[in-house]
Amino acid sequence: MNWFERLLGKQEKSGATAKQRLQMVLIHDRADVSPGLLEQIKDDIIEVIAKRLEINPDNVVVNLDNTAQESRLVAEIPLLQQNGRRRATVQ
């Protein structure tokens, strides 16, 4: 968006929206992975991880990522840990 449109509080131009939407849909098309399948994979991952580690299922993100050479599945699973330190067990 240019300065003038931002001044007027305008919406993003439809051409830019079209490009972003296309890029998203093509990531799924090219890998032949539907958004629904991605959800299922995410649920499966949460189930496996949650057996061993404390996680908040709402913070788990599973996405497809495309570069020129390859598509990759990227999962972000933040752990529930205070200060990033191991909690000491004091007897």
Partner 1 sequence: MNGKVITVTSGKGGVGKTTVTANIATALAMLGKKVVAIDADIGLRNLDVVMGLENRIVYDLVDVIEGRCRLRQAMIKDKRQPDLYLIPAAQTRDKMAVSPSDMILVCDELRQEMDYIIIDSPAGIERGFRNAVAPSDEVVIVTNPEVSAVRDADRIIGLLEAEEKGPGRLIINRLKPEMVARGDMLSIDDVLDILAVELIGVIPEDESILISSNRGTPVAMSGLNGSSASQAFRNVAQRLQGETVPFVDLTPKTGLLNRLNNWFSKS
CB of 33 to partner 1, least distance (A): 14
Least CB distance to partner 1 at residue 21 (A): 6
Pairwise CA distance, residues 28 & 25, whole Å = 5
Does position 72 interact with partner 1 (CB under 8 A)? The reply is no
x/- letters, 22..61, toward partner 1 (CB under 8 A): xx-xx--xx-------------------------------
Q: Are 46 and 60 in contact (CB under 8 A)?
A: yes
